[in-house]
Amino acid sequence: MSAVEFAFTLPRGYRDAEGAAHRDGVMRLATAFDEIAPLKDPRVQSNPGYLVIILLSRVIVRLGSLGAITPKVIEGLFACDLAHLQDLYTRLNGEGRTTLAVHCPACDARFDVETPLGE
C-alpha cells in the first residue's frame, strides 16, 4: 500500500451474489479529476445524490476479493457502510487531520483533540 492509500474495514461489508461478505478494503486519495469527471455522468446530472456513488467507485481500489469496484458495488452497500466510506473519504481528502471528542476521567472535562491522519 502506498502513502496515498488507506486501509479500511466496513462495519457490515458488501455481500456478493454468493452471499460472501467483503469488509476489508483500500481507498486512495482523490485527484481533482476524480471529483470533476463524475459531474459529466448522466446519472449524476439527473440525480446529484449519485455523485458519491461514482466518486467512491473511483477511489476504492480494493474491497475484499472483488475484481472491480463499480458503481453497482457501491449501490449494493448497506447504508452504514456507505456512511462509513463517505466519512473516510471526507477525512482523507480534507485537511488530512481528524478531530476526536475526548473525555478526561480524572477531571471530567470534555474537549476536542486534533490528530494527524493515520495516527
- Measured CA to CA, the distance from residue 64 to residue 102 in angstroms comes to 32
pLDDT, tens digit, for every residue of 93-110? 986 556 667 778 888 888
Confidence band of 119 (pLDDT split at 50, 70, 90)? very low
Q: Which of 47, 45, 9, 46 is nearest to 27 (CA)?
A: 9
pLDDT, tens digit, for every residue of 21-30? 999 999 999 9
The model's pTM is 0.77
Q: Tell me the DSSP string of 87-110.
A: HHHHHHHTTSEEEEEEE-TTT--E
pLDDT, tens digit, for every residue of 33-83? 999 999 999 999 999 999 999 999 999 999 999 999 999 999 999 999 999
